[in-house]
Amino acid sequence: MKTLRIATRQSPLALWQAEHIAALLKEHGFATVIVPLVSRGDVDMSPIDGTRQVGMFTKRIQQALLDDEGDIAVHSLKDLPTEVDPRLRLAAVPQRETVVDCLVSAAAWTLDQLPDQAKIGTGSRRRGAQLLSVRPDLNILPIRGNVQTRLSKLEAGEFDAIMLAEAGLIRLRMDDLSRSQLSLNEMLPAPGQGALGIEVRSDDDDANEAVAKLDDAAARAAVTAERNLLAALHGGCLAPIAAFARIEADQLRLRAVVLGGDGRERLDEIESLPWDADNPIRCGEQLADTVSKRLVDRGARELITAER
């Protein structure tokens, strides 16, 4: 079999993800080479806002597959749009890393300990809305750039604290970074957070066969539930929607929340169904269908539309 070309962004975290997948494929006997590319999201530092920028980190990598610049695309799954391109296939979701978010500050403040009117840097409406639902006094400000760039802005005093995903800090081995983890009751993650998504061309059977060996049934079911819920709500990856699914006591359980941008209005739902390890995708789809219908009946789409 030919050497598989792994297309990836050039940020330190994206390169780590590509190298991680390369190492997993090597364990299964597949040779790889990494093809670094620059995405629009890596050069455009304007605030992420509105549906026009959905997929700005992933489209360049997907196009590399379609243009035969690569055979495999490695994505942070929370950045991958839910719209399906029939020319591409989500071939694997490997075992998932932690989904929690962190509040990074020099004093490792918890959410309760943040000073009144503290300036919090985040590029996520989901994070901003959930912070405001607990601490409406906070001053939520946009921030862009990779992890290192955001940390430099924090150190320069532009913010009192910034929000980052714990999974990225673990992968970058930033074990000593001063931070506090937010509980899932304080901050529910983005759909797909902590998971990697590996795409191949739909007609590339060799790449699909190789990558499929990395698929984890539990992770696949969980992110299917989260992403299908997001798609059903027509949210896109920028909307203030949070969701987290996992297997608990032989049940696949999904928690979801849709918020107004100021955090004052929020719709919470929780549901579970029996876990079927032989049909993880169908299991996730059924759960998402149930929860999304409840949220729609409660006005979720109107709340999402109002935030665009």
pTM of the model: 0.90
What rounded mean pLDDT belongs to the chain?
91
Q: Give the Cα separation of 15 and 88 in Å (integer).
A: 21
Q: What is the pLDDT of residues 190-234, one digit of tens each?
A: 999 999 999 999 999 999 999 999 999 999 999 999 999 999 998
- Answer yes or no: is 299 within a domain: yes
Q: What is the pLDDT of residues 238-257, one digit of tens each?
A: 678 999 999 999 999 999 99
Number of domains in the chain: 3
pLDDT > 80? residue 38: no
Note the pLDDT of residue 268: 97
Are residues 113 and 256 both part of a single domain? no
Q: Report residue 123 as tokens.
A: 């590029």
- 116 — phi, psi (to 5°)? -60, 135
Are residues 84 and 150 both part of a single domain? no
Note the pLDDT of residue 55: 54
Are residues 81 and 207 both part of a single domain? yes
Note the pLDDT of residue 308: 72
Are residues 88 and 118 both part of a single domain? no
Pairing of strands 72-76, 196-201: antiparallel
The conformation of residue 190, written as its DSSP 8-state character, comes to P
- Answer yes or no: is 188 within a domain: no
- Tell me how far the alpha carbon of residue 258 is from its chain's centroid: 16
Note the pLDDT of residue 219: 97
The amino acid at residue 27 is: E
Final residue of a structural domain among 156, 181, 206: 181
**Is residue 120 a contact partner of residue 143, using CB atoms and an 8 Å limit?**
no
- Planar angle of CA 42, 14, 39, nearest 5 degrees: 30
Strand order in the sheet with 161-165: 139-141, 119-121, 161-165, 101-104, 179-181
Are residues 139 and 256 both part of a single domain? no
Confidence of residue 237 (pLDDT cuts 50, 70, 90): low
- 222 — phi, psi (to 5°)? -65, -50
Are residues 234 and 307 both part of a single domain? yes
Confidence of residue 306 (pLDDT cuts 50, 70, 90): confident
CATH of residue 172's domain is 3.40.190.10
- Planar angle of CA 276, 83, 292, nearest 5 degrees: 55
Q: Which domain holds residue 220?
A: 216-308
Closest CA to 279 of 255, 253, 243, 252: 252
What is the Cα gyration radius of the chain? 19
CATH of residue 221's domain is 3.30.160.40
Q: What is the pLDDT of residues 42-94, one digit of tens each?
A: 444 344 444 434 456 788 899 999 999 999 999 999 989 898 899 999 999 99
* CA end-to-end distance (rounded Å), the chain: 47
Task: Count other C-beta atoms under 10 Å from residue 71's C-beta.
Answer: 24
- Answer yes or no: is 189 within a domain: no
Are residues 110 and 173 both part of a single domain? yes
Are residues 115 and 35 both part of a single domain? no
Are residues 142 and 276 both part of a single domain? no
Tell me which residues are annotated as active site. 79
Task: Count other C-beta atoms under 10 Å from residue 296's C-beta.
Answer: 16
Q: Give the Cα separation of 88 and 63 in Å (integer).
A: 10
- Answer yes or no: is 190 within a domain: no
The amino acid at residue 231 is: A
Task: Count other C-beta atoms under 10 Å from residue 198's C-beta.
Answer: 27
Q: Give the Cα separation of 257 and 249 in Å (integer).
A: 22
Are residues 91 and 174 both part of a single domain? no
Tokens 């219908």 belong to: 293
Give the CA count within 13 Å in the CB-facing half-sphere of 278. Answer: 0
Confidence of residue 279 (pLDDT cuts 50, 70, 90): very high
H-helix or E-strand containing 91? Answer: strand 88-92
Confidence of residue 41 (pLDDT cuts 50, 70, 90): very low
Q: Give the Cα separation of 151 and 179 in Å (integer).
A: 12
Are residues 6 and 86 both part of a single domain? yes
Tokens 């304080």 belong to: 186
